Structure 1
Amino acid sequence: MNPQEQSIVKLKDNVYKTTCSGTVENWGQCFNKAKKTCQTGYTDIERLADGSGVHRSFTFSCK
């Protein structure tokens, strides 16, 4: 794991949240984390970004 990469937090059964903030990570990293977590695919639950586009969070569930 990249030392700058944020971890994935399990919120409840089959629902996860991660962040991909800053200049080191982007939305692509969030989606890759979901793919690695969910071997059979994932469903977007929520994508949040602040006005600057620097702070991003992604909530998803595994299919």
Structure 2
Amino acid sequence: MTVTRPTPLAQREIALVDLLDRLLAGGVVITGNLTLRIADVDLVRIDLNALISSVGSGVPSLWEESP
């Protein structure tokens, strides 16, 4: 009897659609900061915080009419 080990994740080929499906099923948090400065003077500061997740049909939409 031969026992085979599963291929490590780093060596597996995963389709982009499958990767997005896995990420959206659990949710993704994106955080970032961007500061534009000249001569040590902050001119523009942008802070980004985003949560990206899939939503099931059981969650009501803001655009649906209420009964």
The interval holding the TM-score normalised by the smaller chain is under 0.3
Larger Rg: 2
* Higher share in strand: 1
Q: TM-score, normalised by structure 1?
A: 0.26
Higher relative contact order (CA 8 A, sep 6+): 1
